[in-house]
Amino acid sequence: MNKIINTSLIFSVLTSIFFFSACSSGTDGSDIDNKKDSVQSLKEDFKKAEVIDVVANKIDGNQSYALYLPSNYNKENTFPIIYIFDAHGTGKLPIALYKNLAEKYGYILVASNDSKNGNTWEETISIFDKLYTDTKNRLSIDTKRIYLMGFSGGARVANAITILNGNINGVICIGAVYPTRNTETPRNNYTLLAIAGKEDMNYTELVKYDMIDLAGHNLKHILLTYDGKHEWSPENIMEEAFVWLECNEMRKDVSQKNDVFIKEKIAPKIEELKQLMEAKKSLEAFKLCKQTINIFDGLTDLTPFYNVYNELKTNKDIDLGLQKEEEALQKEDKLKQDYTQYFQTKDFAWWQKETNNLIAKTKNEKNKTEQQLFKRLLSYLSLICYSQTNGLLQQNNLIGAEYYSKLYLLVDPSNTEAHYFSAIIHAKKNKSKETFLALNKAIANGFTDKKRLENDTVFLKYKLEQAYQKIISSILVTN
């Protein structure tokens, strides 16, 4: 096989430092109430308990955000806020997923429609600066309880801004965590909660960041894992993050401590620990104790969890289990490095055989940890193929793009992007029949971005054809 392209995944090194402005003014206290009323009168009225897909940014009319206000929201009080970054700039998606939690815990949710993968650091910080200023002017925000949240590339953005900005109290990173700006933590007065699906190709990244990168930093952090893939976390997992935020706030201000809340949230943990111990699932029980102590430390009596934790931490089976997990992560890293090299040295026939082997292992491997490892490897290969196909198309390298597109379909046959890229390549080669077939497969696998398809210039030549019009009309629009 001829070598087609350098397969290194290139991530830009960004150097700008961003601090959004925090307004403050001195006062002798005599006109506090008048100033408060004046500020409140400037706040705007938005619909409550409803997802607002698009709120135009008054600072920059070209930008917008999605918004959710809980039903108890009012301009007379201030409310905690979570700014959210979706990797594709679809703000309404995470807000729709987590609006029930925002309602339950009384949070404002704001999600950018402009921050997305591919933006420069300068663009990113400009977007957030304007987003923050606009919402601070128009919403009643508790400026002592500002949090960021992001998924995938959005998580990297959220973590970077949090690290560099002393006004942010905490960050929730889903599906990725290494910050786009740097990997240093110049401050420690914030909290970090990371969430990783055990089938997520970035799983090892999140584990390492929690265990290694943050080691030695006086920073309260926690990693939650669950049986899932690279996606926004399910609502039940995300609720743990809201509980984490609430508990951290209670630790900071003892007057906010809510014993009823704590008792309600810790009760399921006690029951889960009991079941794990009865089932002799020592490693799972050990991890549950460690997590529960981290979340509720200093807020309630954790004797049952400390007792089990102290008993198990010297258990040889626990050491062995943790060692096996570490070895699995090392094995995964080694395989990823090997695969990156194999893109240069192996032909398509080899990839067919290797992919079939990986897929078989995801189905037949009895060890669940190993099974999840192979699923992550397939996801990793899918990401590389996406990156290479996309980059080569932008360079108009049709031969290279077609090769990686075929590999993309091989390692991730149900991925909508894989089929969409295939359609683009066929269209560039003026193969209408193959183009329509690929577009139909993309739709069958969940493609819904009708606007993208209609605006993609490569397909304009088919605009009047009946087959193309049928494809357009078959798309279930969700954007």
pLDDT, residue 41, reads 57
pLDDT band of 34, cuts 50, 70, 90: very low
Share above pLDDT 70 across residues of the chain, in percent, rounded to a whole number:
90
Instruction: Please give the mean pLDDT across all residues of the chain.
Output: 89
Retrieve residue 415's tokens.
């991925």
| DSSP character string of 146-205 | EEEEEETHHHHHHHHHHHH-TT--EEEEES--S-SS-S--S--SSEEEEEEETT-TTHHH
| pLDDT reading at 455 higher than 70 | yes
- Per-residue confidence (pLDDT) for residue 402, from 0 to 100: 97
Specify the pLDDT at position 211.
92
What's the pLDDT tens digit per position in 138-185? 999 999 999 999 999 999 999 999 999 999 999 999 999 999 887 676
pTM, full prediction: 0.86
Q: Residue 254's pLDDT is what?
A: 87
Per-residue model confidence as pLDDT tens digits over 390-415: 999 999 999 999 999 999 999 999 99
Summarize the confidence of residues 99-110 as an average pLDDT. Answer: 98
The mean pLDDT value for 267-290 works out to 96
Query: Does the pLDDT of residue 37 top 80, yes or no?
Result: no
User: Is residue 366 scored above 90 in pLDDT?
Assistant: no
| pLDDT tens digits, 119-143 | 999 999 999 999 999 999 999 999 9
Q: What is the pLDDT of residue 183?
A: 62
Pick the more confident residue, 347 or 188. Answer: 347
Task: Say what the pLDDT of residue 186 is.
Answer: 72
| CA distance readout (Å), 16 to 13, 118, 125, 157, 382 | 10, 16, 9, 13, 31
Burial class (CB in 10 A: 0-12, 13-18, 19+), 3: exposed
Please count the other Cβ atoms lying within 10 Å of the Cβ belonging to residue 266. Answer: 21
Alpha-carbon torsion angle 424, 426, 431, 432, nearest 10: -40
Residue 187 pLDDT exceeds 60: yes
- Say which range, 34-38, 306-310, 364-368, has the weakest mean pLDDT: 34-38
* Positive or negative: CA dihedral 208, 211, 215, 218: positive
